[in-house]
Amino acid sequence: MRARAILIIIVLSVAMTQGAQDRPIGSLPYTPSLDVKAMDTQADPCVDFYQYSCGTWMKTNTIPPDQASWSVYRKLYDDNLRFLWGILDDLSKPRSTRNANQQKIGDFFAACMDEAAVERLGSAPLKPALDEIAALNGPQGLAVLLAHEHLTYGSSGFLFDFGSSQDYNDAEQVIAFAWAGGLGLPDRDYYTKPETASEEIRQKYVAHVQRMLELLGDPPDQARAGAAAVMRLETALAKASLTRVESRDPYNLSHRMTRAQLQSLTPSFDWDRYFSGVGLSRVQTVNVTEPAFYKALERELKGTSLADWKHYLRWHLVDTMSPYLSAKFEEANFDFFSRTLRGVQQQPPRWKRCVGLVDRMLGEALGREFVSRAFSPDMKQRTVRMTQQIEDAMERDIRSLTWMSAATRQRALEKLRAIRNKVGYPDRWRDYGPVRVRPDDFAGNVERAVTFDVRRTLGKIGKPVDHTEWSMTPATVNAYYDAQMNDINFPAGVLQPPLYDAKMDDAPNYGNTGGTIGHELTHGFDDEGRQFDAKGNLRDWWTKDDAEQFTTRAACIVDQYSKYTVVDDIKINSKLTLGEDVADLGGEILAWMAWKTEVAGKALDSRDGFTPEQRFFIGFAQWACENQRPENLRVSAITNPHSPGKYRINGVVVNMPEFQEAFKCKAGQPMVAEKACRVW
Residues interacting with Zn ion, by CB under 5 A? 2, 4, 580, 583
Q: Select from 418, 405, 419, 415 the least CA-distant residue to 547.
A: 405
Shortest reach from residue 481's CB to Zn ion, in Å: 7
Strand partners, 136: none
**Taking a C-beta distance cutoff of 8 angstroms, is the pair 534, 403 a contact?**
no
Shortest reach from residue 422's CB to Zn ion, in Å: 15
- Residue closer to Zn ion by CB (options 4, 411) is 4
- Residue closer to Zn ion by CB (options 363, 587) is 587
Shortest reach from residue 523's CB to Zn ion, in Å: 6
- Residue closer to Zn ion by CB (options 66, 391) is 391
- Residue closer to Zn ion by CB (options 296, 677) is 677
- Residue closer to Zn ion by CB (options 2, 360) is 2
Q: How far is the C-alpha of 35 from the C-alpha of 57, rounded, in Å?
A: 9
Shortest reach from residue 428's CB to Zn ion, in Å: 26
Shortest reach from residue 448's CB to Zn ion, in Å: 33
Q: How far is the C-alpha of 65 from the C-alpha of 17, rounded, in Å?
A: 8
**Taking a C-beta distance cutoff of 8 angstroms, is the pair 298, 266 a contact?**
yes
Q: How far is the C-alpha of 599 from the C-alpha of 411, rounded, in Å?
A: 30
Q: How far is the C-alpha of 86 from the C-alpha of 530, rounded, in Å?
A: 43
Q: How far is the C-alpha of 174 from the C-alpha of 171, rounded, in Å?
A: 7
SS (H, E, C) 262-278: HHHHCCCCCHHHHHHHC
- Residue closer to Zn ion by CB (options 353, 519) is 519
- Residue closer to Zn ion by CB (options 506, 580) is 580
Shortest reach from residue 651's CB to Zn ion, in Å: 14
- Residue closer to Zn ion by CB (options 546, 580) is 580
- Residue closer to Zn ion by CB (options 101, 478) is 478
Question: What stretch of H or E contains 481?
Answer: strand 480-482
Shortest reach from residue 7's CB to Zn ion, in Å: 11
Shortest reach from residue 541's CB to Zn ion, in Å: 22
**What's the sign of the alpha-carbon dihedral 226, 227, 232, 238?**
positive
Shortest reach from residue 583's CB to Zn ion, in Å: 5
Amino acid identity, residue 475? Answer: A
Q: Select from 519, 516, 511 the least CA-distant residue to 612.
A: 511
Q: How far is the C-alpha of 454 from the C-alpha of 425, rounded, in Å?
A: 22
What contacts 202, CB < 8 A, 6 or more positions away? 185, 190, 191, 231
